[in-house]
Structure 1
């Protein structure tokens, strides 16, 4: 009887084990001494991401210059219906901005 319980416990653990994460097919990262960078990767399940950052000088609330990193990029994945979805984005001193079919559009007045 104990053997049956142990076997069922082992089967339950094997079934409940999380799936293997997708393997990374390609990954690149290059950092510039000034703070800029280029980054990208691709996984075996079709996820891709490409991003670059560029240092830019902007004026703060007190009109003093400061450096910020302006980020631009995109990522692609497969949605639950099996269609590829791409999101393009950028982030700068005004905040994060994203566009894509799955990103809600603001209501127009």
Structure 2
């Protein structure tokens, strides 16, 4: 009986429209970090940061996804001691 339940779960996942991770990268150092991630539906994110001083991390990055209306939304940003500064682009 357990086999039938497990098989049904795998079958449901196979036919579901669930994005799959196609890229993943992480790098963490004492004074910096970087990561990238992408899925099969076109969503992706990348971010890297560097330690400016013991209290400030300078970060830049972007993320992108397809909206429910089918438009590609891309956000690029920086964050530093002056705050978070995003730029949103719709295509």
The one-character-per-residue Cα deviations of 1:40-92 (angstroms, maximum 9, x if unpaired) are 000011001010011102xxxxxxxx431111000010022212111001111
Query: Partner residue of 1:46?
Result: 42
Q: Superposition pairs for residues 30-45 of structure 1, below 5 Å? A: 30-34=27-31, 36-45=32-41
Distance in structure 2 (CA, Å) of the matches to 1:20 and 1:100? 27
Distance in structure 2 (CA, Å) of the matches to 1:46 and 1:26? 11
Query: Partner residue of 1:7?
Result: none
Structure whose alpha-carbon radius of gyration is higher: 1
Please tell me the root mean square deviation across aligned C-alpha atoms, in Å.
Answer: 1.6
Query: Partner residue of 2:21?
Result: 24
TM-score, length-scaled by structure 2 = 0.73
Aligned structure 1 segments of 4 or more residues deviating by more than 6 angstroms: none
TM-score, length-scaled by structure 1 = 0.62
Higher strand share: 2
